[in-house]
A and B are shown apart, each in its own frame.
Chain A
Amino acid sequence: MKAASKPATWPLDIYQVFKQNGIRQVAYVPDAGHSLLIKACHADKNMRAVCLTTEEEGVAMLAGAWLGGERGALLMQSSGAGNCINMLGMINECRFPLLMIITMRGHWGEFNPWQVPMSQATVPALNAIGVTVHTVEQPGEAAETVAAAARLAFSTGRAVAVLISQRVIGSKTFGK
């Protein structure tokens, strides 16, 4: 990460889209790329941000939220997408709306080889279990893509994942 780089605005753009769409429950497994968005959701009195022990917990939690009349969003990094697959089968069968925002690891400029296999499997695995995938390659695309995904998810009763490229987030380097 360059020291001179300006703070990213795309996470707060996504937060604004959450507000516009009446998102009340935000479930997450932390990712550095999501840290600003997580902070904003925790600070919002009209949102409940819930830290999970594993991503599939969030899939189930947001199904419960919808049954109770609330909209939610699930934040994770791509390594967590594989943890969700069976639970996403329930989302598919029940046609629960589900909005997932997934920051990519193991892709653009990655240095950790253990992140690569799940990265390569993320889109095919999500597609296989019935999740529609949108991608964000540039920071300026984040808001409109999440807005489109929210509309698709909540208006048609489908699971939609927005994948945010490492090109947008900046690659993790651990100083290497």
Chain B
Amino acid sequence: MKQRNPILDRRKVVAEILALRGDALVMPGLGAPTWDCAAVDDHPLTFYSWGGMGGCAMMGLGLALAQPRRRVLVITGDGELLMGLGSLATIGVERPRNLALIVIDNEHYGETGMQPTHTRHGVDLPAMARAAGFRSAGTVYTAQQLKAWMPRIHRQPGPVFCSIKVTTAHVPLVLPVREGTALKHRFREALLGPRALTE
């Protein structure tokens, strides 16, 4: 299958999304999306993942159901989502209005030697999301398209799915806090206040 070559820079894309985060809760998937979020905006209401591959979208669903008044942005990679494709069906059935699932799609497994993922071979994640029941789903290739998608990502009733095609160009590695309990307490205290540590 002939593929269009991505042109967008992943870090600029994530910076543009997070600049408009407002009071949204952000859930980056393991690997590059976690480094991107850490580099752009190390925020206590971002829960970085260092493992649990394939689970990021479902963590977003649990969070979105628990916090229906807050926007939840799952920002993950193509490889991470491909490991949990069933979650598209589960989210499509639950239809959380406050959830947006954003794939920073470089069409490669970036942490393991840049092997192509199935999206490089034409697997169409937004089409799968649409078929699963997401309210809107699409692919972004250009800066102009990204701009047009911003209101959908941040405000349109969900579940919203946006695959943003980015290059594999090298970006500086920025690693956030690693320890899981520290990340958990940081996020919960910022969201729930002091009760987070006593309940």
Interface residues of A (CB under 8 A from B): 24-25, 48, 50-54, 56-70, 72, 86-87, 89-90, 93-96
Contacts and interface: CB of A to CB of B under 8 A. Distances in A.
A94 B65 contact: no
Contact of A67 (B54, B90, B188): B188
A96 B57 CA distance: 17
Nearest to B27: A64
A51 B86 CA distance: 11
A56 B90 contact: no
B94 interface: yes
Nearest to B179: A93
Contact of B51 (A61, A66, A89): A89
Contacts of B66: 24-25, 64-65, 67-70
A24 B65 CA distance: 9
10 contacts: A63-B55, A65-B62, A68-B25, A68-B66, A69-B196, A72-B62, A86-B51, A90-B51, A94-B180, A94-B184
Given A51-B90, A94-B183, A95-B180, A68 B63 contact: yes
A7 B192 CA distance: 42
Interface residues of B, number: 39
B70 to A, nearest CB: 8
Most A Cβ at <10 Å: residue of B49, B50, B60, B61: B61
Given A54-B86, A69-B66, A90-B52, A60 B47 contact: no
Tell me if B's interface is mostly helix, strand, loop or mixed. Answer: helix
Given A69-B196, A87-B54, A90-B49, 6 more contacts: A54-B86, A67-B62, A67-B187, A69-B66, A86-B51, A90-B51
> What are the 4 tightest A-B residue pairs by CB atom distance, in nearest-first order?
A68-B66, A64-B62, A60-B55, A53-B86
Contacts of A87: 52, 54-55
A56 B63 contact: no
A96 B184 contact: yes
A64 B61 contact: yes
A60 B56 contact: yes
A61 B59 contact: yes
Interface string B102-138: 0000000000000000000000000000000000000
A51 B87 CA distance: 10
A67 B191 contact: yes
Contacts of B50: 93
B93 interface: yes
Contacts of B5: none
B53 interface: yes
B47 to A, nearest CB: 6
Contact of A57 (B53, B86, B181): B86
A16 to B, nearest CB: 21
A61 B180 contact: no
A57 B47 contact: no
Contacts of B184: 66-67, 94-96
A57 B87 CA distance: 7
A60 B29 CA distance: 12
Contacts of B188: 66-67, 69
- Most chain B CB within 10 A, of A52, A60, A72, A95, is at A60
Contacts of B53: 86
A63 B51 CA distance: 13
B55 A56 contact: yes
B90 A86 contact: no
Contacts of A70: 62, 65-66
Given A25-B66, A50-B90, A67 B51 contact: no
